[in-house]
């Protein structure tokens, strides 16, 4: 007996040691496996194909706007990063075409769009172009976010080509300022902005990238020929606040114009993409998605903590103002509530008090003759029978028929006599017609079968 206990204890110890060994192995290997998975993900990200666009692809994207005034070009590049809001703003402009100037500036204060989107509402043709070419808009915006300097460099390359072709000149609509490193384009009158339109195949000379033909869009009334066509002048005012910062190859903000137009107090001159105005539209590549998703998560967490801070401050202020004492007084003055059972008992007592004494007044104890009582009983039976008949008819004549609701028969609702404007639209596989119709007394259209055809079809099948 002692030997059996000793051997049993030894077996138990061996099992326990093995269990501890495997548990420790699992716990120590779990972090290693997590680290290996993380390293594999990093390797996968590094091995992903290069998602940057070539200079040929960037030239293709910026071709239709490279000769726009710098301020308008800047607004378009910023706004293109919010494609969904472009669509919303374009719809608003279509229904508010007469809202301009100061009225437009005031109207924009109540719109939830990014300020760069609001600024383009003064340029309906530009918004229309971005809306019509939404695929182009999104590609342009994603390229600008990922390769801001490269996009601006592509603009300068095309301006140089237009200058060499002799098509980029100072006119009454614009001033062209050249330096050794870049070409600026500004409105001739700072208060009036003209939007150019042109054919890229001719304005830049022979297009050098045949595998990447330029995007094109022409506004209504376009008649450019071989040069630049100008639309009507638009009063810019404070609405254009973007600055193409060519020396640094990025976009800056004219803080005075921006704050006066948007009624804000911005202090950072560098433009920053606001992921909240992206409205859930995915970015073109994994890097952008990772970058701005994390930024959105950080902002959400910060807003949540800010809300918690305000809530805590509110509770403290309430306590400091004697809120707890006020709440206690309100509870003390609240009318007493009876328990559920007590309430029911009280209700029954009230009903008994209101009930008249004596037996219930029925047809048999009223002071009437037997003949009158029998007549009332007969009327009751007839009423109940009529009610049953009406219920039966409304369900459509019997439980075995077809064509009615829930397989209960056609009935009067499928009868052709209660319908009008009956039009045959198709034939079913069993030969029955499928009709469009409206019921008498209504113009609402339905689609279904006709009771008469259903009955004839069943009769024919029984004969066959």
Domain boundaries, the chain: 55-283, 285-321, 405-463
pLDDT at 407: 41
Asked if 277 and 114 count as a contact pair (C-beta separation under 8 A), the reply is yes
Q: Could you tell me the two tokens for 87?
A: 């669509």
SS3 content of the chain, % helix, strand, coil (to 5): 55, 10, 35
* pTM summary value: 0.57
pLDDT in tens, 77-102: 999 999 999 999 999 999 999 999 88
- Secondary structure (H, E, C), 261-324: HHCCCCCCCECCCCHHHHCCCCCCCHHHHHHHHHHHHHHHHHHHHHHHHHHHHHHHHHHHCCHH
pLDDT exceeds cutoff 70 at 398: no
pLDDT in tens, 203-240: 998 999 999 999 999 998 888 776 899 988 998 778 89
**pLDDT, mean over the chain:** 75
pLDDT at 445: 77
Residues 6+ positions from 116 with CB-CB distance below 8 Å? 75, 78, 79, 82, 242
Question: How many CB atoms sit inside 10 A of residue 128's CB?
Answer: 16
Provide Rg for the chain, Cα atoms.
40
pLDDT at 415: 72
Q: What percentage of the chain has pLDDT greater than the value 90? A: 43
Q: What percentage of the chain has pLDDT greater than the value 70? A: 60
Q: Helix, strand or coil for residue 230?
A: strand
pLDDT in tens, 244-263: 999 999 999 999 999 999 99
């Amino acid at each position: 007996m002692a030997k059996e206990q000793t051997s049993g204890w030894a077996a138990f110890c061996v099992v326990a040691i093995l269990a501890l060994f495997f548990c420790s192995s699992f716990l120590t290997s779990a972090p290693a496996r997590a680290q290996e998975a993380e390293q594999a993900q990093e390797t996968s990200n590094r091995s992903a194909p290069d998602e940057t666009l070539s200079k040929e692809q960037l030239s293709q994207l910026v071709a239709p706007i490279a000769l726009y005034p710098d301020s308008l070009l800047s607004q378009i590049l910023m706004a293109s990063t919010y494609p969904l809001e472009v669509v919303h703003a374009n719809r608003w402009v279509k229904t508010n075409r007469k809202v301009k100037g100061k009225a437009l500036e005031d109207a924009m204060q109540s719109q939830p769009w990014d300020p760069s989107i609001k600024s383009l509402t003064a340029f309906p043709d530009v918004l229309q172009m971005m809306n019509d070419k939404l695929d182009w808009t999104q590609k342009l915006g994603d390229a600008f976010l990922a390769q801001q300097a490269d996009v601006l460099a592509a603009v300068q390359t095309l301006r140089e080509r237009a200058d060499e072709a002799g098509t980029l000149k100072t006119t009454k609509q614009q001033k062209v300022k050249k330096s050794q490193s870049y070409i600026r384009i500004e409105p001739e009158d700072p208060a009036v902005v003209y939007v150019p339109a042109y054919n890229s195949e001719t304005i830049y000379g022979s297009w050098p990238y045949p595998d990447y033909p330029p995007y094109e869009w022409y506004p209504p009334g376009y008649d450019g020929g071989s040069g630049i066509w100008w639309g009507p002048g638009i009063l810019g005012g404070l609405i254009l606040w973007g600055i193409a910062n060519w020396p640094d190859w990025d976009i800056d903000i004219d803080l005075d114009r921006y704050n006066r137009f948007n009624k804000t107090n911005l202090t950072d001159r560098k433009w920053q993409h606001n992921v909240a105005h992206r409205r859930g539209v995915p970015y073109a590549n994994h890097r952008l998605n990772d970058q701005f998703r994390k930024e959105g998560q950080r902002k959400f967490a910060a807003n949540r903590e800010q809300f918690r801070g305000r809530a805590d401050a509110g509770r403290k202020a309430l306590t400091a103002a004697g809120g707890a004492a006020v709440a206690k007084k309100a509870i003390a003055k609240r009318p007493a509530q009876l328990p559920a059972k007590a309430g029911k008992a009280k209700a029954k007592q009230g009903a008994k008090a209101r009930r008249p004494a004596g037996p219930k007044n029925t047809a048999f104890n009223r002071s009437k003759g037997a003949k009158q009582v029998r007549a009332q009983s007969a009327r009751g039976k007839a009423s109940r029978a009529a009610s049953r008949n009406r219920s039966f008819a409304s369900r459509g004549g019997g439980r075995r028929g077809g064509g009615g609701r829930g397989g209960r028969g056609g009935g009067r609702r499928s009868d052709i006599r209660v319908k009008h404007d009956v039009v045959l639209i198709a034939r079913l596989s069993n030969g029955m017609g499928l009709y469009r119709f409206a019921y008498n007394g209504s113009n609402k259209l339905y689609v279904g079968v006709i009771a008469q055809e259903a009955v004839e079809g069943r009769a024919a099948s029984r004969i066959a």
